[in-house]
Structure formats: C-alpha cells, structure tokens
Amino acid sequence: MKTLYIVSTSAYAGKSLAALAIALHLREQGLRVGYFKPLGSLAVRLGKETSDEDALYIAEHIGASAAPSDLCPIILNDDLISRACAGKLELLEERVRAAFRRLSAGKEVMIVGGIGDLARGALVGLCASTVAKTLEASVLIVARYQGDFSVEDVLVAPSLLGERLLGVIFNCASAEAHEHLRRVISPCLEEKGIAVFGIVPEDDTLRAISVRELAEGLGAKVLCGEKGLDGLAKHFLVGAMGPQSAAKYLQQVEDKVVVTGGDRPDIQLAALQTSTRGLVLTGGLHPSAVILKRARELGVPMLLVGVDTFTVVEEMERLRGRMRVRGKAKVARARELFAEHVDIERLRSALGV
C-alpha cells in the first residue's frame, strides 16, 4: 500500500480539494482508495463520536466508509493545546497510527489530508514532518501562489520533510503568474530536486462561496429564499449608487451577491431583475413587503445583518478566501482543472502506484 500525505505551506491553499480530485482520479483507475485526516479543526459531533467536517465530506464522496472518529481521530482545539502546554497530554502518535491501520486495511492507496501549514499541530506533537514519519507517507505540497515568497516556503520544505517530499502543485495562479511559474519557477525547483506536478489556475467557480456559507459566516437572518441557499456566488457587488446606474451595473455581472442597505428598495429591486444569487441587507433594516414578496417569488435569498456595509464586504472577502470543499459544481470543476493542469500520471509514478 502507498500513502500520499497532502500538506500546504499556508492555510486555505486548496489541500482538501486537491485530495478529493486526486482520490477520485485514482479510484476511477480501478484502485482501492481510502482517506484519512489525522488532525482536524472543523469539529462535527455525530452521536457519541467527533470528527472533522472536511474529512467526512471527502470520505463520503470517494465512498470510503469508516467510523467518524477513525476518519479524524484528533481535533485540534484550545483544550488540547492547553493540556499539551501543561504537559498533561498523552502521546497522540499511537492513536493516529491505530486509526490509520484500521482505515488502510485492504486499500491500495491512502490519501491523508493535512491541516493548516507545515508547522500546524506542532504543539500537540503532530506537525507535518511527524505525521509523515508516523504514517511512512510520501508528501505532496499544495502551495497557493501569492508571489515568489510562496516559492521560498516550498524551498524550505525538504529540510523539514526530507526524502519523503515528492514535489509541489501550485494552486490559484493568476493568468500573469502562470507563465512566470512555468518558465522561471518550475525549472528552478526541478533543478533543486523538487518536482512540480502542476500549476492550477485561479478559477471563479472554486473561489465562489455558497449563499448558505455566506449566511452562516455573517451570522445573517435568512428572510426568504431558503431553497436558493446552495447557489454559488462568484462575485460580490455593493449597491450604493443611483437606481439608473445600478441597473446598468448589475446587468453586467452574473452569479452575484449584492450588498446594500435595507433602506434601498431601488437597488434591491434592480438586483432582483438581474442574475442575482442573493441579497445582503445591512444595518438591520428590513425590506418592504413588496420587495420581500418579489424575492420570495424568484427564490432569491435575502439575508439581514445588523452591521454596516463596509464590515460585511470585508467579512465576505475573508470568507471567500477560505477555499472550502463544498458542492457538486466545485468538485466537478476541481476535477476538470486537475485533469487539465496536473500531471497525475507523473505523481502516480513518483508515489510508486
């Protein structure tokens, strides 16, 4: 059996999406593939068991049935860290090893998901290098390209991971950065013994956020349009102009969420007359009955928040920066992008599958 541990040099780099895309590809090639996440942070309670939200989602999509507490045996939280700092925490490596042993039985390939960056988990004795050694795993880095300093983080990885490091996939590369990565950065890394398996471009669908995630992240009250909460919003627009300018502006952008004051029925109506995934009303001001009725007829969610527009937009951008594995559209698009831009056969060969 071979084990591929997918880590990153920064949080929200797309590790989970990469793990899912690679696992599905290998499974379609007839391999028996399992998934494991030794350390999680998105705690979910299922009866008497606790697991990680992303781990459950990925395992479900690749058909890897297992006890939730085995899929992710350790949840990183304040209590765990406090106990570790006080010297009252037992060694966790054996718990990780035992859960992995149960999950990997009968599998040909195990995909292991990382958490945060390479150092995350060090306080509890489960940083990336320790997990890789414990599971005897080969390591793939998913690096979110945000300038050449992102490359420096990759260059440090061999000193932490040693010969277990297979190479890197660059993710979220802009059109301008893609050529630079291909012509300058990739040859440089290859010369230093770090294989570059692919450069995945940034993509509107993958950067999109569901209206449901938006509502939860903003702590918003959903006034109507519950059936539209799973729609993906690719763009955020602020409606603060006059009605004539707004109508023209809003018509030019599809799959959007419009943020405007609850006292702007003109903007709200203009948004509802175009391709709008949702409306966020700021200031705690409820819309008129006429607007609410129209939104309900169209199935467009209206979200009410008590804070100002600037605060909402700032929080929305933060939420969108956290690339979450959710929804059929995102999974399908990730698979398309990985098939086109990642040399999975080279990765498979390097893994020894």
Q: What is the CATH number of the domain that holds 148?
A: 3.40.50.300
Say yes or no: 67 and 134 in one domain. yes
Mean pLDDT across 141-161: 89
Q: What is the pLDDT of residue 326?
A: 65
Question: CB neighbours of 123 closer than 8 A, spacing ≥ 6?
Answer: 81, 84, 85
Say yes or no: 36 and 174 in one domain. yes
Mean pLDDT across 148-154: 86
Is the confidence at residue 323, as pLDDT, over 60?
no
Q: What is the CATH number of the domain that holds 262?
A: 3.40.1390.20
Question: Residue 95 belongs to what domain range?
Answer: 2-202
Q: What is the pLDDT of residue 64?
A: 76
Question: How does residue 65 score in pLDDT terms, banded at 50, 70 and 90?
Answer: confident
Q: What is the pLDDT of residue 316?
A: 82
Flag whether 40 is in a domain: yes
Q: Are 196 and 164 in contact (CB under 8 A)?
A: no
Is the confidence at residue 247, as pLDDT, over 80?
no
Say yes or no: 291 and 150 in one domain. no
Is the confidence at residue 311, as pLDDT, over 90?
no
C-alpha 288/C-alpha 108 separation (Å) is: 59
Question: CB neighbours of 281 closer than 8 A, spacing ≥ 6?
Answer: 223, 260, 261, 262, 268, 287, 302, 303, 304, 305
Question: How does residue 102 score in pLDDT terms, banded at 50, 70 and 90?
Answer: very high
Say yes or no: 92 and 220 in one domain. no
Q: What is the pLDDT of residue 263?
A: 84
Q: What are the tokens at 237? A: 């627009």
Write down the mean pLDDT value for the chain. 89
Domain boundary among 176, 202, 228: 202
Q: What is the pLDDT of residue 124?
A: 93
- The residue whose two tokens read 């893609």 is 178
Q: Give Cα 348 distance to the centre of its chain.
A: 23
Q: What is the pLDDT of residue 253?
A: 86
Is the confidence at residue 128, as pLDDT, over 60?
yes
Domain boundary among 158, 186, 202: 202
Between these two residues, 328 and 80, which has the higher pLDDT value? 80
Flag whether 344 is in a domain: no
Mean pLDDT across 72-82: 91
Flag whether 159 is in a domain: yes
Say yes or no: 174 and 311 in one domain. no
Number of other CB atoms surrounding residue 65 within 10 Å: 9
Flag whether 333 is in a domain: no
Q: What is the pLDDT of residue 325?
A: 62
Is the confidence at residue 145, as pLDDT, over 90?
no
Flag whether 348 is in a domain: no
Say yes or no: 80 and 147 in one domain. yes
Question: How does residue 321 score in pLDDT terms, banded at 50, 70 and 90?
Answer: low
Say yes or no: 68 and 176 in one domain. yes
pLDDT in tens, 181-229: 999 999 999 999 999 999 999 888 888 888 998 998 899 999 999 999 9
Q: What is the pLDDT of residue 241?
A: 65
Burial of 213-232, coded b for 16+ CB within 10 Å and e otherwise, reads: bbbeebebebbbbeebbbbb
Is the confidence at residue 136, as pLDDT, over 70?
yes
Say yes or no: 260 and 120 in one domain. no
Q: What are the tokens at 184? A: 């300058």
Say yes or no: 213 and 309 in one domain. yes
Say yes or no: 80 and 124 in one domain. yes
Count: domains in the chain: 2
Say yes or no: 104 and 176 in one domain. yes
Helices 243-251/265-272 angle, 10° precision: 30
Q: What is the pLDDT of residue 246?
A: 67
Question: How does residue 27 score in pLDDT terms, banded at 50, 70 and 90?
Answer: very high
Say yes or no: 189 and 237 in one domain. no
Is the confidence at residue 139, as pLDDT, over 90?
yes
Flag whether 340 is in a domain: no
Range from 61-70, 114-123, 334-343 carrying the lowest mean pLDDT: 61-70
Flag whether 87 is in a domain: yes
Flag whether 275 is in a domain: yes
Q: Percent of the chain having pLDDT more than 70?
A: 96
